[in-house]
A and B are shown apart, each in its own frame.
Chain A
Amino acid sequence: MAQIDERSVWEKIADQLRSRSMWMLHYCTGCGAVELPPSMTSRFDMERLGMGSMATPRQADILLITGYLSAKTLRRVIYTYEKMADPKYVIGFGSCTINGGIYYDSYSTINRLDYYIPVDLYIAGCMPRPEAILNAFNTLMEMIRKGEANGWKRYKENYEWYKQNQIRSLGEVIVHDEFHE
């Protein structure tokens, strides 16, 4: 793990820039999406911190996963995560991503997001209030500056382990080229 934390001078400068300009992709199939409009609009205004929502995974830096994931949506999350450009950060939002929340014994949802993609930061709560969300973003900015938000490196390092977990849950994880099929 030692070499994961190592950064050159350029990467330290780059991390300063990355922490001040975080573009987010909302994966809002869960119910947590309802807490995002107040944190974007005039009361909490996340654009102050240089954050904005982006339309596609290619442009985004943060993947924000709000709430529970069924096995079907997990597949899409993995596709989306792998399409994002490095360095990328994942925020697990609400207790459903931590331990399943109220769906802990459901047959069709996953309980722990961290088994399938590396999560840099969790926001606990059901629902977390906008204050908690803004606090989490500040924490993530601090983590990026210190070089601690290196989930994308862990994903590469432990790819076999993540892949096994994904296959165990989904059966197969192949990115279909739907456009050319």
Chain B
Amino acid sequence: MQTLKTLGLAALLAATSGLVHAQDLRIGLQEDPDVLDPDQSRTFVGRIVYASLCDKLVDITPQLEIIPMLATGWEWNADGTELTMTLRDGVVFHDGEPFNAEAVAYNLNRSKNFELSRRKSEVSSVESWEVVDDTTIKISLAAPDATLIAQFADRAGMMLSPKAAEEAGEKFGLNPVCAGPFTFKERIQQDRIVLEKFADYYRADEINFDSVTFLPIPDTTVRLANLRAGDLDMLERLAATDVPSVMSDDGLTMEKATSLGYQGITVNVGNGDRANTPIGTDSRVRRALSLAIDRAALNQVVFEGAFAAGNQPYPPDSPWFNTAFPVPERDVEAAKALLADAGFADGVDVEVQVANNPVQTQVMQVVQAMAAEAGINISLTAKEFATLLSDQSAGDYMASQIGWSGRVDPDGNIHQFMTTGGGINDSKYSNPEVDTLLNEARLSNDTADRKEKYDAALAILQEDSPIVYLYHQVWIWALDNNVLGFVPYPDGMIRLHGVSMTE
């Protein structure tokens, strides 16, 4: 009897100690990530997985300052054409391969020259590199590029194991090998991605989980239901309309951060025949549209006031926001006056294409109702995203409701859209003054100088308004009360360093 009791107790202890140690964090995602190869990947959710899988050369603080990660220091030469990076010593990849300057060189080459790499434009300024020694690499640029360091804080700076990447080639995504806090264990499409703690991680003491499971659950209601039921420990992109219910729930916590991106209405001002419309040819009509919208009410109705109203590529709390042009209040009279000025006192018709998902269509219906009061008659065409993108790119649209996920460096939110011939300039807006300002802003590493140039460009853009900015998404996370130490970042990433879960 005594032995039985002792055995029983021992078994219980063994079982419970096992429970305490095998901590798995379950995170609910909005979508299933695409291919798990940082050079080929293009989804936002993919980056969330990388935050735990692949460390980068540098990282950011919540205030968007660049801090060391795999690189411990960096220095520009006098004219900004040479970047010398000092790398961290003693770091290994998940397969045991050493992280060194050779590895960085391999990665730069892959990002730049691998035919399917989506990172080419991000590192386009890089011309060549030189491996000085194991922990030093010198990167030479064709021309100064202030955005490069910020690019290294994202996918372009994620380091893959050269051995694994060489072996797998384009199939790297099926079994990614990086240098992050967790290693890749398994992936079941549209069901889950499982990562396991990497014992030899250089900051292993900051990681408190044995495994992380990412579960894509597209339906926001179902995702929240899972969190409430305890099947998830945290989720990303809580629906704004669920915020009140989560706030009043004692068992859940909520965290927010304004994103780096924006949502707006892109107007076709020069992309083919369909630019010959009142709204496409006259900036007064575009400004009237902007004035007719009550952004605060839009935010309130659709997002319960949780998002941020916007009128520039940068959110109002961003250091790059031009404070000379605050987000305007609604002014229907001024809008009507502008329209009358432009010769459309009787009203004007605008066709807007929008992605056929509930949130965006809701936003546009509200805008439609508001604009109608100023005499702007909006008709909506809902399209699947793939079609929307094609039509926009080809100029087959009058106005298009679309957004941008946002980049750490201010150049990333404006250059490609507003410069003549910019890669994603679907409105085909072209203004030589803006071109000069934006191109120069890229070259300088002086923040004050850049701010001046962006402010000047933004002032011009307020007049021309090729994009009518509507709002900035706010990343909202809902967590179980026992998840501690989570820090919200404006890039929307879930960094697990310092995060722990009590039982």
Do A and B interact with each other, yes or no? no
Interface residues of A (CB under 8 A from B): none
Interface residues of B (CB under 8 A from A): none
